[in-house]
Structure 1
């Protein structure tokens, strides 16, 4: 997530400069036809160009709206995870008591149980964010190299720190071993949470009502995980993602042939002006297409993602402070205006 007020002009141009260069290339193709074959053979009336441009503008508007919906839905999902995490921790702290237990346990053991439940929740959060950062074929995996080049100080935590190293703080060695080889570790952690809550109910440390309320929040976590996985694992339909770029390239080839006649009327040397004009028009359309394209996958770990690393750290800080832990991690800070 970019945290400054707006992207810099040079950053925007540098990010999308290939669109301008493609427009220059198609202009040179048109000029080659103009000078080599002859002028009159390659004039194109404005009407078809306007029709293609208008259709393309509507199409890009639709695509960008749909892409933004995916991005905003992802942010709402993780907003719900924040709220549910705080509520779950508060309930654990208030509900796990000796009130209905036939055999009371010490306050130290009660605190250890509460800590285990809350830390397991943080383990689930860790597994989920690592799973969401796993690259998919349709994501911008090629951006990693460019990302490291232009933002060398910015590191996506999930891509540079192994998940097991993080989980060691939250799970016992036995639970860590149980996760080995599991394809969906986040699901297994929630399953362990459910079994632990049932065990506490059997010991009388939770009554029926409190057990059901806590289990309801575990079910909510399953829901939010499933929603996140739906966005992650089901790409923006490829037909909608592919056609706009093809239309832009088609229009970029067509537009110079419509511009030639108008610039020729100004003067023979002005024909060369189609190069910057077509480059700028092509760049504008490709820039709009790229904005939608980079909003489709809100968990891939690049510039415009939902900052799930930062959200997870915020939840970790809140829950550890609720537990009165001595060691509280520092909030993640933006690096070069980026917050992951």
Structure 2
């Protein structure tokens, strides 16, 4: 997540520079050929304008869907914050001060769940965009992905016993199995009489909320923006970008007639065509950069920061003095 007022013009220009070079090239070639006498290359502007309207609609639809996925992901983690706090103080007050060791063990197991979940959500998918050179370059220059700096195995050492850690690492969906261990322990506490049926029901409902939050996050992670909509947007945008310079040739050629620009105005086709095509292409790229909110991009939901915030709050409930430091933005980027 970007925490500044905006990306700087330099950052934006550098991020899109390769695409900008292509736009300039696509505008330059037909302009030179037209000037060399191949006047038949000019096409009517009306079909280009109609196509541009279609592209504007479909890119707008895609960007709206991308924002919806991003905002839903943020709502999910907002729910995890609230559900974690509720679960923590309900568990603490149900067990009382005589069972601090049990409370701490279950709190730490919840930290392990937060950790396992964020590692699972950061796993790459074939349809995600972090493999794009521009995104990789921006990431290397501006921020680090925490889940790439350490391993899940090392992180779980902080929260789980050796036996539980080995058990969890042997499972495919580690976050699910950690919630299952929490449920198992609650059942044991109920059988021992340390919590009553009402308290067990409340705490079990808390675990069910975590399961729901995890499932909603996994749905976004594992179900991409539909490939049919994504493909048609890409194909129509490509056709539009190629056609724009040809559609504007005659318009810029006529622009200078009777003025001091006569014979030279055709060269204005290069910058203006590049600006128009860059605008459409960059709008599509911006939408694409937000459509997968857990991939590790600069526009991600800050799940590492949120997980750390929850850990600090819950450790504070245990009256621990050595609280971990909050995750702070790096070059205005926080994950």
TM-score tier (shorter): over 0.9
Distance (Å, rounded) in 2 between the aligned partners of 1:147 and 1:42? 38
Superposed displacement of residue 246, structure 1: 2.1
Aligned partner of 2:12 in structure 1 is: 12
Distance (Å, rounded) in 1 between the aligned partners of 2:74 and 2:238? 33
* Structure 1 residue 317 corresponds to structure 2 residue 315: no
Q: Structure 1 stretches (4+) deviating beyond 3 angstroms?
A: none
* Structure 1 residue 255 corresponds to structure 2 residue 244: yes
8 Å contact from structure 1 (residues 19, 279) kept in 2: no
**Runs of 5+ consecutive residues of structure 2 not aligned to the other structure:** 257-261
Aligned partner of 2:259 in structure 1 is: none
Distance (Å, rounded) in 1 between the aligned partners of 2:37 and 2:180? 72
**What RMSD, in angstroms, separates the aligned Cα atoms of the two structures?**
1.4
Aligned partner of 2:138 in structure 1 is: 147
Distance (Å, rounded) in 1 between the aligned partners of 2:77 and 2:165? 25
Superposed displacement of residue 149, structure 1: 3.4
* Structure 1 residue 88 corresponds to structure 2 residue 77: no
Q: Please give the residue correspondences for 1:40-59 in structure 2 after superposition, counting only pairs within 5 Å.
A: 41-59=40-58
Superposed displacement of residue 145, structure 1: 3.4
Distance (Å, rounded) in 2 between the aligned partners of 1:44 and 1:125? 57
SS at match of 1:268: coil
8 Å contact from structure 2 (residues 2, 298) kept in 1: yes
Question: What is the count of residue pairs matched by the alignment?
Answer: 327
SS at match of 1:230: helix
8 Å contact from structure 1 (residues 19, 282) kept in 2: no
Spell out, residue by residue over 1:96-149, the C-alpha distance to the aligned partner (whole angstroms, 9 max, x if none): 14xxxxxxxxx55x0000111111111111100000001111112325631343
Q: Please give the residue correspondences for 1:294-309 in structure 2 after superposition, counting only pairs within 5 Å.
A: 294-309=289-304
Aligned partner of 1:281 in structure 2 is: 276
**Runs of 5+ consecutive residues of structure 1 not aligned to the other structure:** 98-106
8 Å contact from structure 1 (residues 303, 338) kept in 2: yes
Spell out, residue by residue over 1:242-288, the C-alpha distance to the aligned partner (whole angstroms, 9 max, x if none): 22232222112211122111222212222122111111111101110
- Alignment match of 2:177 (pick from 185, 188, 204): 188
Superposed displacement of residue 35, structure 1: 4.2
Distance (Å, rounded) in 1 between the aligned partners of 2:141 and 2:166? 39
TM-score, length basis structure 1 = 0.93
TM-score, length basis structure 2 = 0.94
Distance (Å, rounded) in 2 between the aligned partners of 1:29 and 1:242? 27
Distance (Å, rounded) in 2 between the aligned partners of 1:326 and 1:172? 22
